[in-house]
Amino acid sequence: MERDFTRRGHHDMGGLDAGPVQQTEHDYALWEKRVDALMALLAERKLLSVDQLRKGIESLPPDAYEKMSYYERWIFSITQALQHNGVLTTAELSRKLEAVQARAQTEG
């Protein structure tokens, strides 16, 4: 199977005219800071590489890629890669998500 490396992916915006870059400060939400820290820890412990993170983000369908924020793409890619690498199972992830949702309901 021959691959076409000249075809631009939906995520590849290099060279496209998108207007001036807005260089404004951004206050990061706590969850965004945690996702960034999580990726740093996973990479340090060799549980996930930046290449795997990028591959997961670039594999998103165009509509999902456009709808998700920067760190939403990261967390999607991280969870997919950790499941693929055998670090987490879908059941473990579901149980933790249920616990977090229950805690959020009781804490308001």
CATH number of the domain within which 39 lies: 1.10.472.20
> Is 99 a member of any domain?
yes
Can you give the pLDDT at residue 69?
94
- Give the residue-averaged pLDDT of 59-70: 93
Please report, rounded to a whole number, the percentage of residues in the chain having pLDDT higher than 90: 71
Q: Which residues have C-beta within 8 Å of that of residue 85, sequence separation ≥ 6?
A: 47, 48, 52
Q: SS in 3 state form for 25-93?
A: CCCCCHHHHHHHHHHHHHHHCCCCCHHHHHHHHHCCCHHHHHHCCHHHHHHHHHHHHHHHCCCCCHHHH
> Is 44 a member of any domain?
yes
Q: How many domains does the chain have?
A: 1
Can you give the pLDDT at residue 24?
82
Is the pLDDT at 15 greater than 60? The verdict is: no
- Give the residue-averaged pLDDT of 27-44: 97
Give CA–CA dist 101/81, Å, rounded.
Answer: 23
> Is 65 a member of any domain?
yes
* Domain hosting residue 59, numbered range: 30-107
Confidence bin at 108 (pLDDT 50/70/90): low
Can you give the pLDDT at residue 33?
97
The answer to whether residues 76 and 68 touch, using CB atoms and an 8 Å cutoff, is: yes
Can you give the pLDDT at residue 22?
76
DSSP state of 7: S
3-class SS at 20? coil
